[in-house]
Amino acid sequence: MTQLPLIKLQDVSYTYSGATKPILDKINFTLHEKQHLGLIGSNGCGKTTFFHIIMGLLKPDSGMLFFKGNEMRNAQHFKKLRQEIGLLFQDADDQLFSPTVLEDVAFGLLNLGVGPVKARQIAIQTLGDLGLAELEKRITHQLSGGEKKLVSLATILAMQPKVLLLDEPTNNLDSTTRARLIKILTELDIAYVIISHDRDFLAETSQKVLTMTQGRVTE
């Protein structure tokens, strides 16, 4: 039996208001179960926009978006989708806002209605799994850039997503943190897409690297 793709975009176009032409122009894209994809493309070509379309943060002008075979058409659909797709923002400061690391990692779970005791337990477990147990009680805004990036990833993984979208995760990472991130990602058994300019990082983390040009994604 062939599995339905996790994510499928069919002829999706998007134009920012005021722009003269679409930034995404009839884009077609498929992500399968457990697939690890890289996405490369010049600055401003629309990579982040593409992730925001998938998350339902921007609404396409035309085209269709499917998640697990169902077309995502309204806010309710995207609300459910966002519980299963984790987006790692380009800037960790957009992701972290609680006073301590543990509170930040538990936040999403509490928001999903998980009880406080259970949320704390899952948060501790997730930080431990990522080798970040020693950061638990740290003040979030005092962390280094690399630590913030890993804690951001923990906040997402704690919610046990089916898919991860990572937007330029290696920016400003030192070589130790970068190596740690590679190890974490390659050991994940969920599907992910990584936007990056770092071809070596993509070679180590992705089965296939796609290119975005002129509003489309190609192999």
Ligand X SMILES: Nc1ncnc2c1ncn2[C@@H]1O[C@H](COP(=O)(O)OP(=O)(O)O)[C@@H](O)[C@H]1O
Report the residue number, 48 or 140, with the smaller CB distance to Mg ion: 48
166 forms part of the interface with ligand X (CB under 6 A)? no
Q: Which stretch binds ligand X (CB under 6 A): 45-53, 113-121, 133-141, 142-150?
A: 45-53
Tokens of 157: 């993984």
170 forms part of the interface with Mg ion (CB under 5 A)? no
CA distances from residue 47 to 14, 80, 176 in whole angstroms, order as listed: 12, 23, 26
CB of 23 to ligand X, least distance (A): 5
Q: Give the ranges where the chain is alpha helix by DSSP (H).
A: 47-55, 75-84, 101-111, 116-129, 145-157, 175-187, 199-205
Tokens of 86: 């984790």
Choose, by CB under 6 A, the member of 1, 20, 21, 43 that binds ligand X.
43
The site for ligand X, by CB under 6 A, has a size of 10
Residue 211: which H helix or E strand, with range?
strand 208-213
Report the residue number, 140 or 196, with the smaller CB distance to ligand X: 196
Contact characters 13-42, ligand X, x per CB under 6 A: ---x------x-----------------x-
Whether 9 contacts 29, CB under 8 Å: yes
The entry of ligand X, Mg ion, none near residue 46 (CB within 5 to 8 angstroms by kind) is ligand X
Q: CA-to-CA distance for 175 and 146, rounded, in angstroms? A: 10
196 forms part of the interface with Mg ion (CB under 5 A)? no
Residues 34-53 that bind Mg ion (CB under 5 A): 47-48
CA-closest candidate to residue 173, choices 187, 165, 183: 183
Binding residues (CB under 6 A) for ligand X: these are 16, 23, 41, 43-49
Binding site for Mg ion (CB under 5 A): 47-48
